[in-house]
Structure 1
Amino acid sequence: MLDVRPDCACAPDPRTLGELADRLQRPGSVARALPLLPLPCLQVAEALAALGASAPRTELESLLGTESARLDTALRTLSAHALVWPGPDGVLHMATALRDAWETPLGLGPGLDELLSGMTSEELRRIATTLGLTPGTRKRERLDAVLAHHRAPDRLRVLIDSAPPRARDLLERRIRLERTPVMYGSASESPAERWLLDRVLLVGRKWSVEPARVPAEVTRALRGPGWYAPFDPAPPEIPLVSLTASDVEGEAAAAAVSFTGQAGALLGECAARPVAALKSGGVGARELARLGKVVGCDEPVVRLVLETAYATGLMAYEKRALSVTEAYDGWAGQDPADQFTSLLHAWWLLGRTPSGSRDDDGKALPAVGRTSPCTSCLAARHGLVTATAGLSESHGVRDPADLGPLVTWHRPLAHELPQDTTPFACLIREAELLGVLAHGAVSPFGAALLHDDEDLLRTHARRLLPSAASKAHIGADLTAVVMGTPTSRLAALLDSLADREVHGTASVWRFGPSSLRRALDAGRTPAEIQADLSDAADGPLPQPLTYLIADTARKHGRLRLATTACAIHSDDTALLAEIAAHRKLSRLGLRSLAPTVLLCRTPLPTALDALRAEGYAPVAEAEDGAVRLEGAQQARATQLLPRPRQRPRRTAPTPGLALRLLSAPDHEPHPDPGHGIPFQTDTEEILACYAKALNLTDIRQLAHAIHEHEPITVEYLAVSGNRTIRTVSELELDPPLLSAYCHLREDQRVFTLSRIQAVMPV
């Protein structure tokens, strides 16, 4: 139970079974457990809620119209999650917070027992007499007699059939949720309403403006003897195709290699030029399109790489830009298998669907927006892999779109994107891009994720992904081709000497005068360039490339620009004369001072760009006359803002915790200074004095978060009366206030302790 409800075992550890039970009953904890349940469990829970949160198992079977054996799996799952459990008398009970999850379970509304609880004994006597029953002398006897009559469907249908036509029409309208207020005992009652109220086919409170309610027993009787609550114990059947393990592994490996190559190229582009962020936060569609065009991949891939890199800590926001961090340099030097493992594991724990690009109104959504985690998105991802793993062995789906109904059955509360043309289409596509699904089956990567085994995931990645390529094939057409993922050293070398044209399973670079000039501008000599390329090539360098290097080097530096505003000088007088007469360079304001010197009225950087755009190869001089090197600046983000969406890896509770709980006393007195029972810490005692809405469990967890400087989620009641759920960190206690960084507002906020209604671990 601690494994499936890990939030109840978060620090500080519960000290007794009573405290653990208190954590399990919290609405927030129950709400976290629901998205992980399959459809039959939710159907059984809703049916039990319709019966009043506790009922004999036979009544539940009758309502669902199913055999006892078909309920076993769902009830075992609910019991393992501490949501539904059998009592010593055989009656099934459910958590109060779970019962409150439905306002009108199965559309039946409250039961007759609940509706009649506020009636007096005399009112119950009149009702029993009207129904032709023998009323007892005590209130409980009269209530039991009325309940027994209405819980017999045959007798209740006979009573409804005897109703006057207008009363029958009114009852059916009320079941269709027509909320016309009916005032019990008021002058506005019609004879039809009076007839229904006297026989408790409608129940209202005397002189209340609340509309009268239809008891659940009456609604069930009107639905007929053939109606049962929905129950689907088996997942939907979908067409399958036979597959071999090699088919799945080959497809998964190809997808992983392609994604890793695209991720390396995309993050390399981000390292050279930080990604501009919107004022409202996140990366906009225009910047996403630019990155996709540079790298040569679709927008979903760009979003997927940026989101996983941000969650892994390879990127961070700094000064309204998304930049790579120092961790990127270490990641870029890793083997492709390790690079892929870190990004894939981040995707598995990500609290949103990265490829979601549209909201409910069809407007574009930014990528890497600092929003709160989406539990249902995470449940959908895990449900997709769980559903696919449950298919027959050596089989996959014929059409990946068929996996949508399976996900809906395994995770009915999971979130679908507004842009999905078929159920969970974007999520399924993400899993295919990452190699988690291949040919409609779960790959070894997906199986490792499902078992939450990062070491096994890395083992499969190293087995299926080739090692980084350290050699390139350089052809006479002035291209360099690398099959697979290049090493960071090889990629950096080719990026500095050539322009990359193709990314993916094979990468292609093309050499040209401008690309070689970049290396010469950075201070590299022709001999060094040829030597580095010879070491990186899988054969001798082709003659056209050596000629191109020599020709570019010969032209390089023949023009020299000095900082004035600026001056251009060269020993080649003919070249200077040509530049002075060049019509497209007339905007630079050139004037000859001497046969070897031209005065330029344009700043040096602009003059450099203009001359290079026209095919010349000038260099800039430093103040001492030496050639100024133009090495690329490696910008790295240093100011890491809090990232609430980064979900920590879930760790299983230690067996020691279970043993301690089982050996602890059944009851532990609550701290109460008035009775001499001390709190464990002064912080707990202070919080208990001010945070009156919190129980002992909440106080302990809030005090622990303050002491350990850990984030925590709070339910806060604002002055306006609105309730909000906020994740806060950097907590500082200043009674009666609590200062913290609010991840919802992305700013420092002050909270009043008395307005904190509940707390939950992040």
Structure 2
Amino acid sequence: MGPTPPHPLAAWLGRLPADRLHDVLTARPDALRPTEPGRLAELAERLADRRSVARAASRLTLRALQAAEAVAALAGMPAPDDPPGDGVPEERVLALLGDERGVAAALAELARYALVWPDEAGSLLIVEPLRQTWAAPLGLGRGLVGLMGERTAEELAVLVRTLGLPQSPTKQRRLAAVLEHHGDAARVAALAATAPPETRDLLTRAGRTVSDEPVPASRPGLRWALDRGLLVRPRRGTGAVTMPAEVALALRGPGWRAPFAAAPPEPPLRPAAPAAVAAQAAAAAQLFAGQAAAVFAACAAGPPARLRGGGVGSREVLRIARAAQCGEPEVRLALETGRAAGLLARDGERFAVTAAWDAWAEQDPGHRLAVLLRAWWSLPDTPTSDRDAEGRVRPALGEGLPRNDRLAARRALLGAAARLPRGRGARHDEALAALVSWHRPMARRLDQDAPPFAGLLREAALLGVLACGALTPLGAALRSGSEAALVSAARALLPAPTERARFGGDLTAVVTGTPAAALERLLDEVAERESRGVASVWRFTPGSVRRALDGGRSAESVEAALGAVTDRPLPQPLTYLIRDAARRHGRLQVVTAPCVIHAEDAAMLSEVLFHRGLAALGLRRLAPTVLVGRTPVAEALAALRAHGYAPVAEAADGTVRVERPARPRAAALPAQRAEPSVPADRPEPDTHRLALRLAADSSASLRVLAEKATELSLDEVRQLAAAVDAGRRITVDYVTSPDPDAGRRVSYTVSRFELDSPDLFAWCEETGAEEDFFIRRIVAVRQPGPLSRR
């Protein structure tokens, strides 16, 4: 037995230059984890993995996906004049799709993802998991080779005779004759034209799509088509008949083309001046930032309960919406972004705010908005889409599996908006949805919204990422991936926090814009918030002022704190309200007493109060016949009995409580919560070096230099390796010391190499002798100047 032939994908990867291989590694980063592949064969296996192929297919454009479907369809029906092998000539794909430039762009995209690639003859191969994506690509069934190859020699002889073809002595020649006949579209169309009317109707229906419905043998016109191989009944099955793919294409006519969207749709546009876009984005972002803060505050006051099946139910969502004075979509979006940002977390059977929320609330509005935007950018779902495929209400903060198609659709949406002309926006949401559908068709297939991507577009508008049908500065900063740019854009759109309030004689406080954290805490402490938005309104009531006094403030401190945040004297009705509440505050006093001891004999209570052995009870007298203590009732009873007294326990209604021995019970174990698994920190793979190393399977010098010359770029390593292999002149910059800061950088023109890692021996023109260069100290490579003559 000879050696196992390499995987076709590995063979193609081996023919790629390092820069093209680097493009593949960049497009398929999941193939580099958990460890870098050591050889091209291992890389090919990872790239052909079903899950990896599915992830790559989810990022394809509609043009590339349609081209891949065409390749998958043609791969099952080779033509007689095709070159040997399993590949599909590019000319056949072009003839089926009809747009040369579009096909070239689609095939380049598929090659970048290593899903479709050319073999050595130039024919196209498709990775098997992608080929299996379509049960009937282009509505075509199996090809003639597969269907007719299952026929016996006698069956093929009958078919050849019926078609009027020359008889052949072997099965292979009979099969070749049938394939040649049915591979001629004109001959198949002419044959079908002679069929009886009921047969032509049957052929027309079978040529449109593949059906699994059984066809009874008594169906009129069926026998005529079966006898001539225009329809084939499988040797095993339920009675369904299949039309060979070549026959179906022939009957569709020479002018038929497969669906192919060579370019994204051109959406109808409307004016969208940058100033108007920024203004609308600022209004939306400011509103949502305030609503999100209110949602988190409501969760801090009353954490929403978790449903048994996971998530937060619609009742809790409605409760939070009422408390935060916003709609349910805003609540759902705030909850999901808050959880993704670490501001909310599951705590047993509820969702509570975390310590990160306190720090977040102290930040300026721009920083707070940036945190929520980054969280939205990574959400694996569309939280404002509150219905599932069956129309049932979905819980907020769901705990289902993440959906990568949501991430792809979100990036495609902002990418599509970024491609619109400056100063122009999409006229309506459907236009942007059509662009997303072209750039991420797999996400469109999984989307459950009607119209498509309605939830995604709604969220982008709520957050101020899209406005007037165009990408906003917030959206552009979000796409850039720069945290500093995002915070800067958010701060530029949102006004600085307001630190002053305006107090009215109607006992209200009005804050225009976003209140500063300290001002908001103060007003929330002494007043009731009535509204949020561009202006927030609080109302002072006797109950709200009493709440502040209960918290330890005095009337003077309340007036001083409010006076410090306004430029005018406090209105007289407000000061009267504060002072009146302070006069009434504390006239009744309620003490917390774990136990109360009372008796008709005041002398006995005095004896108990001053008993040294009972000092630990912390007793004090409230009345001549009443003592209170700081220890629980059970401990007080035990201490009194230990010192010779005979107390009885009294119930709340004044009756003597009968004491019976308690039966021990096992303590309920707290609910166990699964801790999220945190992957170990791993450095990002250096795709440039990896591409060089993998491409260096046939070049020892390239392999060594890719590993040792860490200061050189990808192109510089390739230049140096080519010079070493060919022995030609090259100029290098070399650092004379191991310490780059201490050494000098000197240029040498070298040739006639000998590579002995970690050293590179070469003839140096400047010194006129052979020199030893440490590869790691070579910091630059460039083409040499003209050869000097001495």
Shift of 1:147: 2.2
Q: In the aligned structure 2, how far is the partner of 1:350 from the partner of 1:291?
A: 21
In the other structure, the counterpart of 2:188 is 156
**Structure 1 residue aligned with 2:469, among 421, 440, 443?**
440
Query: Per-residue displacement from partner, 1:42-75 (whole Å, max 9, x unpaired)?
Result: 11111111112641111112212x1312312212
**1:199 and 2:198 aligned:** no
Shift of 1:154: 0.7
Query: Per-residue displacement from partner, 1:507-547 (whole Å, max 9, x unpaired)?
Result: 22222211111111111122222222233334443333222
**Percent of paired sites with the same residue:** 48
Aligned in 2, Cα 1:205/1:286: closer, same or farther, shift over 3 Å? closer
Q: In the aligned structure 1, how far is the partner of 2:566 from the partner of 2:169?
A: 102
**1:89 and 2:121 aligned:** yes
Shift of 1:209: 5.0
Residues 466 and 475 of structure 2 are in contact (CA less than 8 Å); yes or no, is this contact kept in structure 1?
yes
Query: Per-residue displacement from partner, 1:292-324 (whole Å, max 9, x unpaired)?
Result: 111111110000000111111111111211101
| Alpha-carbon RMSD | 3.3
Unaligned runs of 5+ in 1: 568-592, 598-636, 668-762
Q: In the aligned structure 1, how far is the partner of 2:291 from the partner of 2:285?
A: 10
Residues 136 and 210 of structure 2 are in contact (CA less than 8 Å); yes or no, is this contact kept in structure 1?
no
Unaligned runs of 5+ in 2: 1-23, 77-86, 597-621, 627-669, 701-790
Shift of 1:245: 1.8
Residues 372 and 645 of structure 1 are in contact (CA less than 8 Å); yes or no, is this contact kept in structure 2?
no
Report SS of the residue matched to 2:165.
Answer: coil
Residues 61 and 68 of structure 1 are in contact (CA less than 8 Å); yes or no, is this contact kept in structure 2?
yes
Shift of 1:402: 3.0
Aligned in 2, Cα 1:663/1:476: closer, same or farther, shift over 3 Å? farther
In the other structure, the counterpart of 1:49 is 72
Report SS of the residue matched to 1:260.
Answer: helix
In the other structure, the counterpart of 2:751 is none
In the other structure, the counterpart of 1:80 is 112
Residues 32 and 685 of structure 2 are in contact (CA less than 8 Å); yes or no, is this contact kept in structure 1?
no
Q: In the aligned structure 2, how far is the partner of 1:164 from the partner of 1:412?
A: 42
Report SS of the residue matched to 1:51.
Answer: helix
Write the letter of the residue equivalent to 1:255.
A
In the other structure, the counterpart of 2:389 is 360
In the other structure, the counterpart of 1:381 is 410
Residues 499 and 565 of structure 2 are in contact (CA less than 8 Å); yes or no, is this contact kept in structure 1?
yes
Aligned in 2, Cα 1:92/1:538: closer, same or farther, shift over 3 Å? farther
Q: In the aligned structure 2, how far is the partner of 1:528 from the partner of 1:230?
A: 75
**1:425 and 2:479 aligned:** no
**Structure 2 residue aligned with 1:8, among 22, 27, 31?**
31
Give runs of aligned pairs for residues 180-195 of structure 1, distance below 5 A. Answer: 181=214, 193-195=222-224
Rg bigger for which structure?
2
In the other structure, the counterpart of 1:269 is 298
In the other structure, the counterpart of 2:278 is 249
**1:24 and 2:47 aligned:** yes
In the other structure, the counterpart of 2:577 is 548
Query: Per-residue displacement from partner, 1:561-613 (whole Å, max 9, x unpaired)?
Result: 3457999xxxxxxxxxxxxxxxxxxxxxxxxx99xx9xxxxxxxxxxxxxxxx
**Structure 2 residue aligned with 1:35, among 50, 58, 61?**
58
Q: In the aligned structure 2, how far is the partner of 1:224 from the partner of 1:331?
A: 65
In the other structure, the counterpart of 1:571 is none
Shift of 1:552: 1.0
Shift of 1:655: 2.9
Query: Per-residue displacement from partner, 1:145-194 (whole Å, max 9, x unpaired)?
Result: 322321221111011122344544444454465645479xxxx6889545
Aligned in 2, Cα 1:207/1:546: closer, same or farther, shift over 3 Å? closer
**Structure 2 residue aligned with 1:346, among 372, 375, 379?**
375
Shift of 1:279: 2.1
**1:661 and 2:694 aligned:** yes
Q: In the aligned structure 2, how far is the partner of 1:26 from the partner of 1:134?
A: 46
Aligned in 2, Cα 1:409/1:230: closer, same or farther, shift over 3 Å? same
Q: In the aligned structure 1, how far is the partner of 2:386 from the partner of 2:319?
A: 16
Q: In the aligned structure 1, how far is the partner of 2:47 from the partner of 2:448?
A: 36
Aligned in 2, Cα 1:169/1:251: closer, same or farther, shift over 3 Å? closer
Shift of 1:252: 1.4
In the other structure, the counterpart of 1:224 is 253
Q: In the aligned structure 2, how far is the partner of 1:12 from the partner of 1:272?
A: 46
Bigger RCO of structures 1 and 2 (CA < 8 A, at least 6 apart): 1
Report SS of the residue matched to 2:107.
Answer: helix
Residues 337 and 458 of structure 1 are in contact (CA less than 8 Å); yes or no, is this contact kept in structure 2?
yes
Shift of 1:408: 1.9
TM-score by length of 1: 0.72
Shift of 1:238: 2.7
Q: In the aligned structure 1, how far is the partner of 2:673 from the partner of 2:482?
A: 28
In the other structure, the counterpart of 1:476 is 505
Report SS of the residue matched to 1:486.
Answer: coil
Report SS of the residue matched to 2:88.
Answer: strand
Shift of 1:341: 1.2
Q: In the aligned structure 1, how far is the partner of 2:423 from the partner of 2:571?
A: 49
**Structure 1 residue aligned with 2:557, among 528, 541, 551?**
528
Write the letter of the residue equivalent to 1:29.
S
Query: Per-residue displacement from partner, 1:323-351 (whole Å, max 9, x unpaired)?
Result: 01112112112222221111111111111
In the other structure, the counterpart of 2:263 is 234
Shift of 1:378: 2.3
Q: In the aligned structure 2, how far is the partner of 1:412 from the partner of 1:23?
A: 24
In the other structure, the counterpart of 2:143 is 111
